[in-house]
């Protein structure tokens, strides 16, 4: 008989049998992957003795049927598999010998996001070995660099104050797998780096503090164009971000220079009209922060009627998500932890008041904030910037 005791971040399982009491940790982790990636691996390993005739199961409880993959002895049994995963899942043929029960999910879709559990079944009781939350993202960044540039930055950011054992891999999946750069506090692996990138890559040494895992690539050429994957191993979490470096461009030909001159003339003639649209789409407010205040209001208002499913995103100058609002409610799971429990939209969305209250402001919050409105199709409907400045008295004291 299995006895369970659970906590929020993990599951400690005590197994009582004729052999005594053993324990197995089923740690909850987060795995992130971009939609369209070749595959994603959901890890699950087991170190204790196996019961007779064990059955290995991967389930998603929010689906009907909930079975993602089932393996018995040396064969997969997929008759009861949810049809959403048909032909897209696999486990190692020697899973029972190696105790590696990890699941490979090919061509992940947005609908694949959810909570997956790795389970071993002895015919009477189920033992949960791992719980993994899979996030499938539909975004990837594109970077363009002109020929002759000294370097290019491939962006990759996560939350700050990462644990000491965090490691980062930058890789290229195509046309053949290449290791571009490796960062690790515990064991540097420069010898794994592909020769094409030796001496040409750099990452900020303060990335554990800042969460900025961006890669600087020196002397970029046409050979460097393509997809790059930034993988951050943070405890049980595996976070991935894809950056596409487009083919580097050369200098403008003469006809392009002439076209640019003509464009400048058109812009000068249209200056008045452009000023109006700039005021509507990208106006900037200035807000002064005084010492000791409990909160500060960052204004953002529009007279245009917004669709009910529009998305509001407040971001700071470091591109952190300060606050996200959609479908008549806040979206705290998208918010950077620097701002958690510190923001609130108190205005009436339907009346165009998208102002944000920032609680417990400090001098570190003095920066430029952007209020962006997106349609359901991700079209930008409006952008407004708010420059939060600090109020200084004549004697230099707040």
> Which tens digit of pLDDT belongs to each residue from 299-335?
988 877 788 888 999 999 889 999 999 888 889 999 9
Lowest mean pLDDT among 110-114, 265-269, 350-354: 265-269
Mean pLDDT confidence for 200-206: 91
Q: Is residue 276 part of a domain?
A: no
Of the residues 121, 137, 153, the one at which a domain ends:
137
Q: Is 206 a residue whose pLDDT tops 70?
A: yes
More confident residue, 273 or 106: 106
Residue span of the structural domain in which 328 resides: 282-390
How confident is the model at residue 18, as a pLDDT? 28
Lowest mean pLDDT among 18-22, 291-295, 353-357: 18-22
Q: Are residues 6 and 105 in the same domain?
A: yes
Mean pLDDT confidence for 230-240: 84
User: Quick one: three-class SS letters along 32-68?
Assistant: EEECCCCEEEECCECCCCCCCCCEEEEECCCCCCCEE
CATH of the domain at 360: 2.60.40.10
CA distance 112 to 134: 7
Q: Is residue 168 part of a domain?
A: yes
Average pLDDT of the chain to the nearest whole number: 81
Q: Residue 356: beta bridge partners?
A: 298
Two tokens, residue 143: 């970077």
How confident is the model at residue 4, as a pLDDT? 32
161: pLDDT confidence band, cut at 50, 70 and 90? confident
Number of structural domains in the chain: 3
343: pLDDT confidence band, cut at 50, 70 and 90? very high
Q: Is residue 264 part of a domain?
A: no
153: pLDDT confidence band, cut at 50, 70 and 90? very high
Q: Are residues 162 and 240 in the same domain?
A: yes
- Segment 18-33, tens digit of pLDDT: 222 222 334 458 888 8
Q: Is 99 a residue whose pLDDT tops 50?
A: yes
Across 155-303, the runs of DSSP E, i.e. the strands, are 167-172, 178-184, 201-203, 215-218, 226-234, 237-245, 283-289, 295-298
Q: Are residues 63 and 154 in the same domain?
A: no
Q: Are residues 57 and 170 in the same domain?
A: no
Crossing angle, helix 254-269 and helix 271-282, to 10 degrees? 80
Lowest mean pLDDT among 63-77, 179-193, 194-208, 231-245: 179-193
Whether pTM exceeds 0.75: no
Mean pLDDT confidence for 240-256: 69
- C-alpha closest to that of 34 among 138, 104, 163, 179: 138
How confident is the model at residue 15, as a pLDDT? 33
Of the residues 228, 245, 262, the one at which a domain ends:
245
Q: Are residues 61 and 166 in the same domain?
A: no
Q: Are residues 51 and 10 in the same domain?
A: yes
Of the residues 185, 218, 245, the one at which a domain ends:
245
3: pLDDT confidence band, cut at 50, 70 and 90? very low
Q: Are residues 49 and 121 in the same domain?
A: yes
Q: Is 387 a residue whose pLDDT tops 70?
A: yes
Mean pLDDT confidence for 58-86: 93
How confident is the model at residue 391, as a pLDDT? 67
């Amino acid at each position: 008989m299995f006895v369970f005791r659970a906590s929020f971040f993990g599951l400690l399982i005590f197994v009582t049998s004729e052999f005594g009491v053993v324990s197995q940790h089923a740690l909850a982790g987060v795995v992130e992957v971009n939609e369209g990636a070749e595959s994603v691996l959901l890890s699950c390993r087991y170190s204790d003795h196996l019961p007779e005739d064990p059955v290995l199961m991967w389930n998603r409880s929010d689906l009907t049927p909930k079975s993602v993959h089932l393996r018995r002895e040396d064969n997969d049994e997929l008759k009861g598999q949810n049809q959403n995963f048909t032909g897209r899942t696999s486990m190692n043929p020697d899973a029972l010998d190696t105790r590696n029960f990890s699941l490979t999910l090919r061509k992940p879709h947005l609908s694949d996001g959810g909570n997956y559990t790795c389970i071993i079944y002895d015919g009477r009781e189920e033992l949960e070995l791992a719980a993994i939350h899979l996030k499938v993202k539909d975004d990837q960044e594109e970077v363009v660099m002109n020929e002759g540039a000294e370097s290019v930055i491939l962006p990759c950011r996560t939350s700050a104050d990462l644990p000491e054992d965090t490691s980062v891999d930058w890789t290229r999946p195509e046309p053949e797998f290449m290791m571009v750069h490796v960062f690790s506090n515990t064991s540097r692996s420069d010898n794994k780096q592909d020769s094409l990138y030796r001496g040409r890559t750099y990452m900020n040494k303060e990335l554990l503090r800042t969460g900025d895992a961006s890669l600087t690539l020196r002397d970029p050429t046409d050979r460097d164009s393509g997809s790059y994957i930034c993988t951050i191993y943070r405890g049980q979490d595996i976070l991935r971000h894809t950056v596409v470096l487009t083919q580097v461009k050369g200098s403008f030909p003469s006809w392009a220079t002439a076209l640019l001159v003509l464009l400048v003339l058109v812009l000068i003639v249209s200056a008045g009209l452009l000023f109006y649209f700039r005021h509507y789409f990208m106006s900037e407010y200035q807000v002064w922060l005084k010492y000791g205040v409990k909160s500060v209001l960052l204004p953002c208002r529009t007279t245009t009627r917004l669709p009910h499913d529009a998305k509001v995103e407040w971001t700071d100058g470091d591109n952190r998500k300060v606050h996200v609002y959609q479908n008549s409610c806040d979206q705290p799971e998208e918010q950077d932890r620097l701002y958690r429990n510190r923001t609130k939209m108190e205005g009436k969305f339907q009346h165009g008041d998208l102002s944000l209250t920032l609680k417990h402001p400090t001098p570190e919050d003095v920066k430029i904030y952007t209020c962006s409105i997106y349609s359901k199709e991700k079209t930008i409907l409006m952008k407004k910037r708010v420059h939060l400045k600090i109020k200084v008295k004549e004697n230099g004291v707040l």
